[in-house]
Amino acid sequence: MRLYRAIAVLGGVLIITPAAAQQAADKPPPMDELQRADQIYQFKKAAVSGAERGREIFYYKCWFCHNEFTKDVPKLEGLFTHSTLISGQPVNDETVKNQIRNGSADMAAYKYTLSEADLNDLVAFLREKCCWNSDAPPLNPAYPAR
């Protein structure tokens, strides 16, 4: 009802009051979980949360550098079995998340790209199931094998 008072069409010209503009800016657009594009945009095509969602984030954001074909990039398989990162910091959830957030001279930073939930799922994947096997990628959840 408030929206009707804030937006008026006069003579074919749309007038939006500052209050309506601020209300629209404060609230993100609604996402339709059934739309494939929204699932891809939110990295929720494979799973809603957890390590499987982290696998999808890894594929879209990490795999193109951290794969089995690169030579000068650290491999992430078994990351949590190491005592320290390349930076010398101990390997734990927070230091791995900070490395992903802030990047380094040789790595892109993702603090404006990945949310805290994205980082949690990505770290869960790195800890539990890492890494992506190019010869045997995971099955597409939209087409379950029978």
Domain boundaries, the chain: 1-30, 36-128
Pairwise CA distance, residues 23 & 18, whole Å: 9
Instruction: Give the pLDDT score at 38.
Output: 63
Read off the pTM. Answer: 0.68
Q: Show contacts of 42-51: CB within 8 Å, 24+ apart.
A: 43/118, 43/121, 45/141, 45/142, 46/138, 46/141, 47/141, 49/117, 49/121, 50/121, 50/124, 51/121, 51/124, 51/125, 51/127, 51/128, 51/129
Report the CATH architecture of 36-128. Orthogonal Bundle (1.10)
Smallest Cα–Cα separation from 17: which of 27, 1, 5? 5
Instruction: Give the pLDDT score at 3.
Output: 46
Q: Which residues pair with 13 in a beta bridge?
A: 10
Please report, for the chain, how many H helices and E strands are present, in that order: 6, 2
Q: What is the pLDDT along the chain (146 residues), one digit of tens a residue?
A: 444 444 555 555 556 666 665 665 566 666 666 666 666 666 677 677 788 888 888 988 888 898 888 888 888 888 999 999 988 999 999 999 999 999 998 899 999 989 999 999 999 999 998 886 667 666 666 666 65
Pairwise CA distance, residues 40 & 17, whole Å: 34
Instruction: Give the pLDDT score at 27.
Output: 65
